[in-house]
A and B are shown apart, each in its own frame.
Chain A
Amino acid sequence: MMKVTTKRHEHKNCRQLLGSLSEYVDGELDEELCSVLEHHMEDCDDCRIVVDTLRKTVYLYHATASTENIPSDIRQRLYKSLNIEDFLEK
């Protein structure tokens, strides 16, 4: 079930933490800021949702990109343009 809270993100702390969220989802945020953010999220549903959906956004791009390969006609033309057709796997 989806949960809608506020439409606007108005808290001052949230704004200050915004720039740290990307590093946080990568697990690369330094320890001190990390605990500040986690403490803040205990009381701030909005930030928790932003973090969760940010993490999911990155995951979705990862998940879909890894399945996308070069189309076989484009691959064939590439090998031809480089004179390495002999090594094109059938």
Chain B
Amino acid sequence: MNGNENKVETEGFSLKALQAGDPEEFSRVVDAYSSNIYRLAIKMLNQQEDAEDVLQETFIKAYRGLKSFDGRSKLSTWLFRIATNEALMVIRRKHPEVVSIDEPVETEEGEQEPVEIIDWCCLPENELLSEETKERLDAAIQILPERLRVVFLLRDINDLSTHETAEVLGLSDTAVKTRLSRARLRLREELSTYFSERTKDLREAQLNKSIHASPKEPR
């Protein structure tokens, strides 16, 4: 057995079976990674139809490309690379003005300086994980420029390591860390603005409730 094969084997798949076109083995790969690929596509594109196209195209290209897949990277890394390229192609087709993902990090806008400094960590979990909050989390991702968004999605949404993310995007580990830091700080800012508004609303609601619940004492 050569060392290259190990990466695919450690993921629990037989590269030999996959390269022989075994549909059952391929369906196991699809089953294992389709949710991750879809999550990447939908959060990258924010549009269900486009995300579905990217999902299908990724696995069609993977199926065709398996014979020449050298196994030097994990299958998942390879699939994410195909999916990322597909998603970026959709973005470029729709917005030709968007610059390349390979743009050096120095030309990006700088670090997000914290403006909203409010400690919302201790808000109750049902508030932090409400449907409305989830919508705000998704909306905040869309504000990120593509170069930062794709790094954030691979690292924090799809749980890839810094090095795997670097491999997918053809960037250095340092560039991945810098972009992730910028993305996270911007998202923190967005969420802080949101939770600061939410807290005000909650406080007002509580105040109204206590006013209505306890009649004024006579002076």
The answer to whether the Cβ of B18 comes within 8 Å of any Cβ in the partner chain is: no
Considering only CB atoms and an 8 Å cut-off, how many residues of chain B contact the other chain?
A: 51
**A21-B181, A50-B188 in contact; A70/B35 too (CB < 8 A)?**
yes
| Distance, CA A53 to CA B35, complexed state (A) | 28
Residues of B near A8 (CB, < 8 A) are: 115
| Distance, CA A82 to CA B118, complexed state (A) | 49
- For the complex formed, measure the closest distance between the CB of A79 and the CB atoms of chain B, giving whole angstroms: 7
Taking a contact as CB atoms under 8 Å apart, the answer to whether B184 and A49 are in contact is no
List the interface of chain A (C-beta within 8 A of B): 1-9, 15, 18-19, 21-23, 25, 28, 46, 49-50, 52-54, 56-58, 60-65, 68-70, 74-75, 77-79, 81-84, 86-89
Residues of A near B87 (CB, < 8 A) are: none
- The dominant DSSP class at the A interface is helix
Taking a contact as CB atoms under 8 Å apart, the answer to whether A19 and B191 are in contact is no
Taking a contact as CB atoms under 8 Å apart, the answer to whether A79 and B111 are in contact is no
Taking a contact as CB atoms under 8 Å apart, the answer to whether B118 and A49 are in contact is yes
Residue in A2, A6, A68, A88 whose beta carbon sits within 8 Å of that of B39 in the complex: A68
Residue in B27, B55, B122 whose beta carbon sits within 8 Å of that of A2 in the complex: B122
- For the complex formed, measure the closest distance between the CB of A63 and the CB atoms of chain B, giving whole angstroms: 6
Residues of A near B27 (CB, < 8 A) are: 79, 82, 84, 87-88
The answer to whether the Cβ of B211 comes within 8 Å of any Cβ in the partner chain is: no
| Distance, CA A1 to CA B202, complexed state (A) | 12
- For the complex formed, measure the closest distance between the CB of B79 and the CB atoms of chain A, giving whole angstroms: 13
Taking a contact as CB atoms under 8 Å apart, the answer to whether A77 and B56 are in contact is yes
Taking a contact as CB atoms under 8 Å apart, the answer to whether A2 and B156 are in contact is no
Taking a contact as CB atoms under 8 Å apart, the answer to whether A53 and B121 are in contact is yes
Taking a contact as CB atoms under 8 Å apart, the answer to whether A82 and B191 are in contact is no
- For the complex formed, measure the closest distance between the CB of A74 and the CB atoms of chain B, giving whole angstroms: 5
